[in-house]
Amino acid sequence: MVSSVARIARQIQRLKSERKAVILSHNYQVGPIQDVADFVGDSLELSYKAAATDAEVIVFCGVHFMAETAAILCPTKTVLLPDRSAGCGMSEMISVEDVQALRALHPEAVVICYVNSSAAVKAKSDICCTSSNAAQVVQSIPEDQEIIFIPDQHLGAHVMQQTGRQMILYNGYCPSHVRMMASELSEIISVHPDAPVFAHPECTTPVHLLSDGIFSTSGICTAAQNSQATEIIVATESGILHRLSKENPDKTFIPACSWCDCAHMKVNTLEKVLWSLEEMQYAIVVDPEIAVQARQAIDRMMQMSTPEKEKCLAFMA
Ligand code: 13P
Ligand code: SF4
């Protein structure tokens, strides 16, 4: 008997070609969504993929700021988010007024904005970055230039450590990643002493200090594939375990936290992806004036020549 997941997946495939749509999924989406997607990746890869697609419709299985970025990059395409309540706790921690207040205090500073932010906040920033290129973006700013880094204090602290640059950090954070505790991780490490720990930069510094590698979500997938270890501890949202296990059937992945799921990422379901294509909902539309300004900050990042960009383009070719 054909399972209901297979039935829904079949319907999605049929509607996808009717609508000339492409399905992009973030690494944190539930397994059935990743399996039906045309492409699964991290924020940077998904932005390049959205910008390059010739599909007329992009079903963005991720959270609002990611779909908004795709809509800014593809103003002539329809970008759909299967559940419009898929926000991001971190992006909601900073407003345009917060950026303006920081700029008033540091009028000479360059504002680097992590993509996990609203289009309106990006519009008030100078350049964007993602978890995979933040260090290169920081290094592209002249040494004597003051930098304000928004909104993630933990990614910011990690990049300061990587680059040796001092920055003014905003105090935002990811509510899911800060739940990962160094004490819990230490206990897991003591049970699996040979397993390397791969962590996301949104984790706190004590977790970073216990880690063997700190990477974007797709960076964790690459590190896992390249690792000789048969057991790997993963300090990021649990959705990534699906891709990791699929790509590495001979390896065991141990989550560093069993209660750190991103509630926003998890509101998308396979049923909602089908509904999204049936009803062409929810279309993400960005105010054109904000979109033009936000695009400048996004373009500055995407035009930078970084190893991550080359990897994305090679991967997509
Ligand atoms: P990545 O860009 O590493 O996929 O991270 C996005 C994110 O929201 C992590 O919480
Ligand atoms: Fe936002 Fe954290 Fe969810 Fe990523 S995991 S989308 S930063 S709330």
Residue 10 in this model has a pLDDT that exceeds 70: yes
Which of 152-161, 276-285, 307-316 is predicted with the least confidence, judged by mean pLDDT?
307-316
Q: Residue 62 and residue 72: Cα distance in Å, rounded?
A: 16
What is the mean predicted confidence (pLDDT) over 240-253?
98
Residue 312 in this model has a pLDDT that exceeds 80: no
Those residues with Cβ within 8 angstroms of residue 142's Cβ, 6 or more apart along the chain or in another chain: none
Reference 25, options 310, 206, 240; nearest CA is 240
Q: Could you tell me what percent of the chain has a pLDDT over 90?
A: 94
Q: Return the pLDDT at 317.
A: 64
Tell me, using a 6 A CB cutoff, whether residue 81 lines ligand 2. Answer: no
What is the mean predicted confidence (pLDDT) over 43-58?
96
Total number of residues shown for the chain: 317
Strand 147-150 with 168-169, pairing: parallel
Residue 145 in this model has a pLDDT that exceeds 90: yes
Q: Tell me the pLDDT tens digit for each residue of 109-141.
A: 999 999 999 999 999 999 999 999 999 999 999
* Main-chain phi, psi angles of 59, to 5 degrees: -90, 110
What is the mean predicted confidence (pLDDT) over 292-297?
98
Closest atom of ligand 2 to 202 CA is: 7
Q: Return the pLDDT at 311.
A: 73
pLDDT tier, 191 (very low <50, low <70, confident <90, very high otherwise): very high
Q: Tell me the pLDDT tens digit for each residue of 75-98.
A: 999 999 999 999 999 999 999 999
Q: Return the pLDDT at 217.
A: 98
Mutation test of ligand 2: which of 27, 44, 121, 262 has the most ligand atoms closer than 8 Å to its C-beta? 262
Q: Return the pLDDT at 3.
A: 87
What is the average pLDDT value for the chain, to the nearest integer? 96
Q: Return the pLDDT at 308.
A: 75
Q: Residue 167 and residue 150: Cα distance in Å, rounded?
A: 10
Tell me, using a 6 A CB cutoff, whether residue 71 lines ligand 2. Answer: no
Q: Return the pLDDT at 203.
A: 98
Q: Helix axis angle, 288-303 relative to 43-52, nearest 10°?
A: 110
**Helix/strand/coil (H/E/C) assignment for every residue in the chain:** CCCHHHHHHHHHHHHHHHHCEEEEEECCCCHHHHHHCCEEECHHHHHHHHHHCCCCEEEEECCHHHHHHHHHHCCCCEEECCCCCCCCCCHHHCCHHHHHHHHHHCCCCEEEEECCCCHHHHHCCCEEECCCCHHHHHHCCCCCCCEEEECEHHHHHHHHHHHCCCCEECCECCCCHHHCCHHHHHHHHHHCCCCCEEECCCCCHHHHHCCCEECCHHHHHHHHHHCCCCEEEEECCCCHHHHHHHHCCCCEEEECCCCCCCCCHHHCCHHHHHHHHHHCCCECCCCHHHHHHHHHHHHHHHHCCCHHHHHHHHHHC
**Most distant CA pair in the chain: distance in Å?**
66
Tell me, using a 6 A CB cutoff, whether residue 90 lines ligand 2. Answer: yes
Residue 314 in this model has a pLDDT that exceeds 80: no
Q: Return the pLDDT at 306.
A: 77
Cα 153 to ligand 2 centre (Å): 14
Instruction: Report yes or no: 113 and 127 within 8 Å, Cβ to Cβ.
Output: yes
pLDDT tier, 1 (very low <50, low <70, confident <90, very high otherwise): confident
**Helix/strand/coil (H/E/C) assignment for every residue in 45-82:** HHHHHHHHCCCCEEEEECCHHHHHHHHHHCCCCEEECC
Closest atom of ligand 1 to 216 CA is: 3
Cα 177 to ligand 2 centre (Å): 8
Those residues with Cβ within 8 angstroms of residue 76's Cβ, 6 or more apart along the chain or in another chain: none
Q: Return the pLDDT at 304.
A: 87
What is the pTM (predicted TM-score) of this model?
A: 0.96
Q: Return the pLDDT at 193.
A: 98
Q: Return the pLDDT at 127.
A: 98
CB atoms within 10 A of CB 154: 22
Instruction: Report yes or no: 166 and 145 within 8 Å, Cβ to Cβ.
Output: no
Q: Tell me the pLDDT tens digit for each residue of 200-246.
A: 999 999 999 999 999 999 999 999 999 999 999 999 999 999 999 99
Q: Return the pLDDT at 315.
A: 66
